[in-house]
């Protein structure tokens, strides 16, 4: 498997003077290993097809990049590593759920109302009732790498992958014996972060287990947060051609929300428990590979919506329980040279229960509602290479049926041209869609059971090329997005009602590059520009991330910069905000290459103490410092 990393040369950075992403190679690589390959990284869980030939933009964030960031949440890492991706934040720790929550993920301006699908090993992760993503559960614990499809991936994954998909690939022990690591960090606002992980492999059997605990007092009154996560995975090789495995991942969190500066809240908190589990079996033969996966994602939420300082506390709590379970069967066959035919069937059943309970008597239910939806889909796709894979054509279609909305057709087509000289050109057309969730269909006054899915058409062309024996990679992409049938609330006969009336057009470009200057010095950057036909929350017009990593011997130093222009954050009259953040990371590893290395690390964020708000009324902290130690065995 080859790794796609992206960056922009310093000359381009100064010329465009805008915001991008930094993706540095692993500091432990040798000079020969620092070659930057053009091949896309396969989306391996589940391996529904071979994405190396897909006309899609697939970006990987590696384990070394996750570790080097010092972050326990994955969302800040994605902002710094993936072009065109932005995440809303309301504070130092925790995103929360319910009113005033953060963690909205936009890719190329598409993402509101869960239009970007999160997965863990190919299992969809979203709340079955409200359809929203669960940002506090996307943690670094147990994650080996992240694979991001920039643009619609509904052909493979169906609803909620309208704007793209983010697949968290969990760790698997690769070498025989026992290994692991323990990590502790301490810093600003009495923040503490602990992580412990271990893996074991013997013969055909392997397992990984890890746990994470984060807690912080927060930098505003009533913004304390804590989170715990536990992960266990097992895999057994039944034969050279068959393997089976199982995984369980659970998260518990409690997040307080102080509201905005303009409208502060008291007693507002959310408490959630989320779990996900799966079993799978996979086959690998010379002429075919595929498998089957059964999964379930479930949760229990409890929310106090709080009160303003001059109001009495509410006398009830909001409760919800939800589930999202399914089965996917997929197979790829290779009938002749340079040909792959992929197909599969997906079944999904999701829903849940919402109710209010009195604070003085938890058994007293004041209101409740239950709903569920079934979905079934089949898809087929063919990839064919010509002239020694100089040209690759790809085309596919998905038919999905939902019990609440009927049939949806999802076509996709494109081509990949490799004209030589380490260059690659991609052209693609793809459709993405998002099915209405239970809240939009059945809950609260705007509900409309006749809603249709939202959809968008995406047109894209990209070019990438390696230079100087692979030490420099540069690329660019142009895209045009046409969205229709967006669900919006309108007044019908004097009453609010959800309707399929919205539309939008997003267009823009991205420039990216990575340069291995010398074996221990790497520079990278990414710039993205987005034009939207109407103001769009949490979708900056321009974003630049730039990073330089220097790894002399046992030391590692990283300095990175993020610049945002034209961000609509909810301020009055759709006013936009601009800001630039500068961050620093340093680490020293004692006994590097030995049996039990010890690493001391420190990270300083927002060195210039810049004031900024990604959500209007929720000021982010100034300079923050975290430091700690990590033991490996």
Classify burial at 293, counting beta carbons within 10 Å of its beta carbon; exposed 0-12, middle 13-18, buried 19 or more: buried
Strands of 519-618 (E only): list them: 521-532, 542-550, 555-568, 576-590, 598-605
What pLDDT sits at residue 53?
61
d(CA 114, CA 134) in angstroms, rounded, equals: 10
Percent of residues, the chain, with pLDDT higher than 70: 92
For 115, the token pair is 């239009």
**pLDDT computed for residue 47 by the predictor:** 60
Is 31 or 109 the better-scoring residue by pLDDT?
109
Q: Residue 593: its pLDDT value, please? A: 74
Write down the pLDDT at residue 216. Answer: 96
557 is written with which tokens? Answer: 């130093």
Please check the confidence at residue 39 and state whether its pLDDT lies above 70. no
pLDDT above 70 (res 26): no
Domain assignment of residue 4, yes or no: no
How sure is the predictor about 366, in pLDDT bands with cuts at 50, 70 and 90? confident
- Specify the pLDDT at position 99: 78
Q: What is the pLDDT of residues 413-459, one digit of tens each?
A: 999 999 887 899 999 999 999 999 999 999 988 999 999 999 999 99
Query: 429 lies in a domain?
Result: yes
Residue 54: the pLDDT is: 67
pLDDT of residue 520: 96
Identify the pLDDT of residue 8: 31
Is residue 1 domain-resident?
no
pLDDT at res. 32: 31
Return the pLDDT at 306.
94
Q: Is residue 548 part of a domain?
A: yes
Does the pLDDT of residue 37 top 70, yes or no? no
Task: Work out the average pLDDT over 40-69.
Answer: 70
The three-point CA angle 165-168-173 to 5° equals 150
User: Residue 626: which CATH number?
Assistant: 2.40.170.20
Residues 41-60, mean pLDDT to the nearest whole number: 62
Alpha helical stretches, state H, 430-479 = 438-442
Q: Which domain holds residue 585?
A: 10-632
Structure confidence by residue, pLDDT tens digits, 604-613: 999 999 999 9
What is the model's pLDDT at position 112? 86
Yes or no: say if 194 and 213 are a contact pair by the CB < 8 Å rule: yes
42 pLDDT band (50/70/90 cuts)?
very low
For residues 96-107, average pLDDT: 88
Q: CA 261, CA 616: separation in Å to the nearest integer?
A: 9
What is the per-residue pLDDT across 150-195, written as a single tens digit (0 to 9) for each? 999 999 999 999 999 999 999 999 899 999 999 999 999 999 999 9
- Could you write out the three-class secondary structure of 143-164? EEEEEEEECCCHHHHCCCCCCE
Contact 474, 9 (CB under 8 A): yes
CB 198 within 8 A of CB 180: yes
Q: Looking at the 3D structure of the chain, how many domains does it have?
A: 1
pLDDT, tens digit, for every residue of 556-596? 999 999 999 999 999 998 899 999 999 999 999 998 777 78
| pLDDT, mean over the chain | 89
3 within domain boundaries: no
The verdict on residue 118 lying in a domain is yes
On whether residue 393 sits in a domain, the answer given is yes
2 domain-assigned: no
pLDDT tens for 277-300 read 999 999 999 899 999 999 999 999
> What confidence score (pLDDT) does residue 348 get?
96
Question: pLDDT: is 498 or 388 the higher one?
Answer: 498
């Amino acid at each position: 498997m080859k790794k796609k990393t992206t960056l922009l040369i310093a000359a381009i950075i100064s010329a465009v003077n805008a915001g991008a992403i930094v993706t540095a190679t692993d500091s432990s690589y040798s000079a020969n290993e620092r070659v930057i390959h053009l091949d896309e990284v396969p989306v391996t869980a589940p391996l529904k097809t071979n994405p190396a030939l897909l006309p899609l933009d697939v970006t990987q964030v590696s384990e070394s990049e996750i570790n080097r960031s010092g972050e326990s949440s994955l969302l800040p890492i994605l902002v710094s590593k993936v072009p065109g991706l932005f995440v809303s934040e309301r504070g130092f720790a925790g995103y929360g759920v319910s009113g005033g929550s953060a963690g909205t993920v936009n890719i190329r301006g598409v993402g509101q109302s869960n239009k970007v699908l999160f997965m863990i090993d190919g299992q969809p992760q979203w709340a079955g009732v409200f359809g929203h993503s669960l940002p506090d559960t996307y943690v670094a614990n147990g994650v080996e790498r992240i694979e991001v499809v920039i643009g619609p991936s509904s052909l493979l994954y169906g609803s909620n992958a309208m704007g793209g998909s983010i697949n968290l690939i969990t760790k698997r022990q690769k070498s025989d014996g026992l290994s692991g690591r323990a990590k502790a960090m301490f810093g600003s606002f009495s923040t503490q972060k602990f992580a412990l992980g271990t893996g074991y492999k013997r013969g055909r059997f392997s397992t990984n287990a890890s746990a994470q605990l984060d807690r912080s007092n927060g930098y505003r009154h009533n913004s304390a947060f804590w989170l715990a996560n536990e992960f266990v995975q097992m895999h057994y090789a039944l034969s050279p051609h068959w393997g089976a495995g199982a995984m369980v991942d659970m998260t518990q969190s409690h997040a307080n929300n102080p509201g905005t500066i303009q409208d502060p809240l008291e007693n507002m908190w959310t408490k959630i428990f989320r779990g996900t589990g799966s079993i799978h079996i996979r086959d690998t033969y010379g002429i075919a590979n595929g498998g089957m996966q059964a999964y379930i994602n479930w949760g229990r939420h409890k929310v106090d919506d709080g009160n303003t300082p001059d109001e009495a506390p509410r006398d009830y709590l909001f409760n919800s329980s939800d589930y999202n379970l399914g089965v996917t069967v997929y197979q790829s066959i290779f009938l002749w040279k340079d040909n792959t035919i992929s197909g599969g069937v997906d079944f999904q059943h999701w829903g849940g229960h919402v109710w209010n309970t009195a604070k003085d008597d938890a058994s007293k239910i004041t209101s409740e509602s239950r709903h569920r939806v079934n979905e079934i889909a089949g898809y087929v796709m063919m990839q064919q290479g010509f002239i020694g894979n100089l040209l690759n054509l790809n085309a596919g279609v998905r038919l999905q049926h939902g019990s609440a909305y009927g049939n949806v057709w999802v076509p996709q087509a494109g081509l990949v041209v490799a004209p030589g000289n380490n260059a690659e050109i991609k052209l693609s057309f793809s459709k993405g869609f998002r099915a209405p969730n239970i809240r939009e269909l059945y809950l609260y006054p705007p509900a409309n059971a006749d809603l249709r899915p939202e959809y968008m058409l995406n047109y894209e062309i990209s070019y990438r090329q390696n230079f100087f024996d692979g030490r420099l990679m540069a690329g660019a992409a142009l895209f045009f997005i046409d969205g229709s049938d967006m669900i919006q609330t309108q007044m019908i006969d004097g009453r609010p009602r959800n309707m399929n009336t919205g539309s939008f057009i997003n267009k823009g470009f991205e420039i990216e590059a990575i340069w291995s200057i010398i074996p221990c010095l790497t520079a990278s950057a990414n710039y993205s520009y987005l034009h939207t036909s109407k103001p769009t929350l949490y979708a900056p017009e321009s974003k630049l991330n730039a990073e330089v990593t220097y790894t002399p011997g046992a030391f590692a130093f990283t300095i990175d910069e993020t610049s945002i222009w034209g961000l609509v954050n909810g301020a009055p009259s759709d006013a936009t905000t601009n800001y630039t953040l500068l961050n620093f990371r340093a680490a020293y590893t004692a006994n590097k290459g030995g049996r039990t290395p010890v690493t001391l690390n420190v990270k300083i964020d927002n060195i210039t103490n810049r004031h900024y708000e990604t959500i209007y009324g929720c000021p982010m902290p100034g300079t923050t410092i975290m430091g700690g130690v990590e033991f490996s065995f």
